[in-house]
Structure 1
Amino acid sequence: MSELSQLSPQPLWDIFAKICSIPHPSYHEEALAEHILSWAKEKGFWCERDQVGNILIRKPATPGFENRQPVALQAHLDMVPQKNNDTVHDFTTDPIQPWVDGEWVKARGTTLGADNGIGMASALAVLADDKVEHGPLEVLLTMTEEAGMDGAFGLQPNWLQAEILINTDSEEEGEIYMGCAGGIDFITTLPLTREAVPAGFETLKLTIKGLKGGHSGADIHLGLGNANKLLARFLAAHGHALDLRLIDFTGGTLRNAIPREAFATIAVAGDKIDALKAAATGYLAILQNELGAKEKNITVLTEPVTHSAQALTADSRDRFAALLNSTPNGVIRNSDVMAGVVETSLNVGVVSISDNQAEIICLIRSLIDSGKDYVVEMLTSLGQLAGAKTAPKGGYPGWQPDANSPVMALVRETYLTLFGKTPNIQVIHAGLECGLFKKPYPEMDMVSIGPTITGPHSPDEQVHIESVGLYWTLLTELLKVIPVK
């Protein structure tokens, strides 16, 4: 029996435990999708998949609720695969290991997948629980949201019958989301040249790790450290002075996760090793002074390694370090319209070096299209100065807030009735699929709710147990009070 089986409400937690047991990182959701389809067919529900793999399940209305507006509950099938450096885990084959830590559910050394597994579990729990009263109901589960919103991009018109969509991908109980940022990937490719490492040089690995990481949208305003940027800063400051020969650089694993670790393999003259180690120690002190209030476990390491590859020429080293060091990161602008909300940001998510080029992958987010355009133009200009190729890719629209949304008003009133307080109406800087759903379903009324999840897209991800109960109460009551057609 899972620890989660002792939690309430059931069967939500049991379903979530089952979701955790089936590997489902982005692009590897098929086993989970097949399990859910088999489960739905066993229970006698109508279910179908579309051409991109999205799942749609229908459940008839509770007797007496047939004349209510049809509702779709929506979640995405995939999770973000992030693990601690010392955790042995293959996200394509190994189950997530959830455990209860006081008021929270966490995972052992990895992301938990509460984003969006709890929302998915809640939708399936509504299907499973005949005590929940509702009108005509659909559950839409989309493919590969975290790595490009493939399912939302592929959603076709005239498949859903719902007039209202409740997105379950929000991460703060007590907040109702009525809009979100759009986004676009940006890839910079810098050509590099190499040469032999001089005689008398020794090879070391320079590591920055221990950072919190997190969601590149929801956490971007927190001022957390970005390992790619911090390591580039060190190389820009000391590469020339210490005659460091850069052999390799890798940092971050996902463009939508704030990088927690970055690694550079360097060669340095034997008589400068002590100076390098002193510089690393001094840099750690600087970072602890600047970031220590939030990044309490930051670490800078130098350790000898064996490596036989050629190093970048001094010119390539300097252009790479200067380009990465000068690439903006974090909040670009706060919204003038929504107080306390980030308008435009970018995350320098993944950096890698191959034999003859470096690649920098950023994710740009903005509430307004012109904000995205501005950052694209800025990175394009920076690439031109560095002699790099640049390519924006995979843009998706934001979800324009509708202050007159009937379902948003209904959620607010229902929350106030249930809990005696008014929820916050918010626009989230993270990307939700609702903006893409508006293209095939322009008249659909949408809202996003969810429990409290902290540290999404990082191994510190956790979901607050009590908030899941509050979210479930709100969701099930909301389905009961959906108005007639």
Structure 2
Amino acid sequence: MSNEAPVGNPNEHLESLSPAPIWHFFRLLCNTPRPSYKEEAILSKIEQFAEQRGFSAERDEGGNLLVKRPATPGYEQVPVVTLQSHVDMVAQADVEHDFTRDPILTEVRDGWLWAKGTTLGADNGIGVAGALAVLADDELVHGPLEALFTVEEETSMGGALRLAPNWLQGRYLLNMDSEDRGEVYIGCAGGVHVKISEHFVEHELDSQWTFLTLSVSGLNGGHSGVEINQQKGSANQLLPRALLAVLDALEEGAVAIASYRGGEMSNAITRSASAVIAVKNADVAAISAQVAELEATLKQELADVDAGVVVTVSDEVPRQAALSAEDSARFIRLLGALPYGVERYSDEVPGVVETSNNIGIVELEGGRLSLDAMVRSLRDSAALALAARIEGLARLGGFSAESSSFYPGWNPIPHSPLLTRFCDIHTQVEGHSPEVKVIHAGLECGIIGAQYPHLEMISFGPTIKGPHSPSERVELAAVEAFWGLLRGTIESLAKDPLPA
């Protein structure tokens, strides 16, 4: 069953969904382009909303926005509650879509809200909509509230990392960036990026060489943190595997790389990648047969997670400059050697990934290589150790490498008063206690908590599947429950304050 918005009135159907306050504001978010680094439009609209309601709103030097709502009369002395969410979204599409201009078009399918061929932005748009709905709720009994809207979370955690000191007044922070109904998170992974670069000298090849495009596509992709344990295929792992097979099957010096492109986000499992290669004319037929054999093998290996994987080699493409055979082999072997996926599972939290690496973005164009790998870990020391190992591996191959954009993890406090209160509210709303968990993904709580150590924090949200990919969708019933939990927690903290 599909419930679609008319083309001329984007997402009007969202106004008919429940809970109405959240879907009203989520429509605003869908209709306002907001990829990472392009958050100005949505921040301006939130500021306009705050001005209309008479709330204070200010930005810090990091670009984050803080909106404050005074307490319900009689509750002015209640501790401040901070609502926290990020306004940017991952931009991934299977259709033609300009994320800097076009609205996200949505539809309801069997109890879930989807976007039409793009990421939905429920990560973290539902959290933003929840905060705005709370700020607009005239029936809610509450103490002083502040809503923190951060930027650049999906690319670098940049907003949280640049968060102004001595700005937040809250004692409790409710992060709304988790993605499973019935769960509450009290800890998360930290992370660090490893950037690898090189500038190769290109060469023109004579007529003995044929240029081909080798590509991997048809993968599901997904979130490189919460879905890394699902063993999904990454095109930035599988295409190098194909290139290695070609390299090892031919005589030395018979493969040259002209270009490579795979991935658009460091925190998304790469869905497709392609490389333009040059081989000796006599080897073209052999490569085609080898690629077909590899595709059949991958379909067997990935049958349960990525059965749609496709490996293709094109007909001849226009001639272009390429790396030397020696540099090509060095590049291919580096990609083939990089670790991908789960490095270690946690001993303290059974079943949870402790440390992982995602080969997020690889670009080789005009002889310039740029690679961005994202390491995550529940242990900061383990994240830095794996990053150092990747750096060392790159340098052994003669490449430049450095770690950057480190952000700390969030150490769990299993018996905090805020967690106990939330579990009580959860039992009232859902009829059972939530599962208390630690997530292998970067929540901004770790960064915020490092600067504001007095904050008690929890993270919760509705069920979202397929984040960071065009299969992203959010469960409507879970949003209804999320709204009840959010309102119930805020009201409980006002009417029955926790002991100091």
What does the per-residue CA deviation read over 1:86-142, in whole Å, with 9 as the maximum and x for residues that have no partner?
x11111111111111111111111111100000000100011121222111111101
Secondary structure of 2:90 counterpart: coil
Letter in 2 for 1:324: L
Separation in structure 2 between the aligned mates of residue 244 and residue 189 of structure 1, nearest angstrom: 21
Letter in 1 for 2:343: I
Residue 48 of structure 1 corresponds to 58
Residue 313 of structure 1 corresponds to 324
Would you say the 8 A contact 1:186–1:390 is kept in 2?
Answer: yes
Structure 1 residue 375, shift from structure 2 partner: 0.4
Would you say the 8 A contact 2:346–2:352 is kept in 1?
Answer: yes
Identity, % of aligned pairs? 42
Residue 303 of structure 1 corresponds to 314
Would you say the 8 A contact 1:96–1:107 is kept in 2?
Answer: yes
Please point out which of 378, 399, 403 is paired with 1:367: 378
Structure 1 residue 422, shift from structure 2 partner: 1.6
Would you say the 8 A contact 2:465–2:473 is kept in 1?
Answer: yes
Separation in structure 2 between the aligned mates of residue 381 and residue 339 of structure 1, nearest angstrom: 30
Q: How does 1:30-429 map to 2 (within 5 A)?
A: 30-84=40-94, 87-242=95-250, 243-304=254-315, 306-429=317-440
What does the per-residue CA deviation read over 1:155-179, in whole Å, with 9 as the maximum and x for residues that have no partner?
1222222111100010111110001
Structure 2: state its 5+ residue gaps.
1-8
Residue 478 of structure 2 corresponds to 467
Separation in structure 2 between the aligned mates of residue 455 and residue 403 of structure 1, nearest angstrom: 28
Secondary structure of 1:173 counterpart: coil
Separation in structure 1 between the aligned mates of residue 291 and residue 460 of structure 2, nearest angstrom: 45
Structure 1 residue 274, shift from structure 2 partner: 2.0
Structure 1 residue 66, shift from structure 2 partner: 2.9
Secondary structure of 1:343 counterpart: strand
Please point out which of 10, 14, 24 is paired with 1:14: 24
Structure 1: state its 5+ residue gaps.
none
Secondary structure of 1:204 counterpart: strand
Residue 453 of structure 2 corresponds to 442
Letter in 2 for 1:402: I
Letter in 1 for 2:173: L
Structure 1 residue 336, shift from structure 2 partner: 0.0
Separation in structure 2 between the aligned mates of residue 89 and residue 418 of structure 1, nearest angstrom: 39
Secondary structure of 1:304 counterpart: coil
Would you say the 8 A contact 1:320–1:358 is kept in 2?
Answer: no
Separation in structure 1 between the aligned mates of residue 424 and residue 83 of structure 2, nearest angstrom: 19
Residue 3 of structure 2 corresponds to none
Letter in 2 for 1:66: E
Separation in structure 2 between the aligned mates of residue 378 and residue 439 of structure 1, nearest angstrom: 26
Secondary structure of 2:249 counterpart: coil
Would you say the 8 A contact 2:192–2:384 is kept in 1?
Answer: no
Would you say the 8 A contact 1:197–1:245 is kept in 2?
Answer: no
Separation in structure 2 between the aligned mates of residue 305 and residue 275 of structure 1, nearest angstrom: 14
Separation in structure 2 between the aligned mates of residue 401 and residue 304 of structure 1, nearest angstrom: 54
Secondary structure of 1:399 counterpart: coil
Structure 1 residue 286, shift from structure 2 partner: 0.5
Comparing 337-346 with 299-308, greater Cα deviation is found at 299-308
Separation in structure 1 between the aligned mates of residue 217 and residue 96 of structure 2, nearest angstrom: 17
Would you say the 8 A contact 1:152–1:433 is kept in 2?
Answer: yes
Separation in structure 1 between the aligned mates of residue 235 and residue 352 of structure 2, nearest angstrom: 24
Separation in structure 1 between the aligned mates of residue 166 and residue 202 of structure 2, nearest angstrom: 55
Comparing 194-203 with 425-434, greater Cα deviation is found at 194-203
Letter in 1 for 2:402: A
What does the per-residue CA deviation read over 1:60-104, in whole Å, with 9 as the maximum and x for residues that have no partner?
2223433322101111111111112xx111111111111111111
Structure 1 residue 305, shift from structure 2 partner: 5.1
Would you say the 8 A contact 1:72–1:162 is kept in 2?
Answer: yes
Alignment RMSD, CA only?
1.4
Letter in 2 for 1:115: D
Residue 487 of structure 2 corresponds to 476
Residue 6 of structure 2 corresponds to none
Would you say the 8 A contact 1:17–1:98 is kept in 2?
Answer: no
Separation in structure 2 between the aligned mates of residue 91 and residue 43 of structure 1, nearest angstrom: 29
Letter in 2 for 1:80: V
Letter in 2 for 1:131: E
Would you say the 8 A contact 1:191–1:388 is kept in 2?
Answer: no
Structure 1 residue 240, shift from structure 2 partner: 4.5
Would you say the 8 A contact 2:194–2:403 is kept in 1?
Answer: yes
Q: Aligned residues, how many?
A: 483
Structure 1 residue 244, shift from structure 2 partner: 3.0
Structure 1 residue 191, shift from structure 2 partner: 4.4
Separation in structure 2 between the aligned mates of residue 120 and residue 158 of structure 1, nearest angstrom: 23
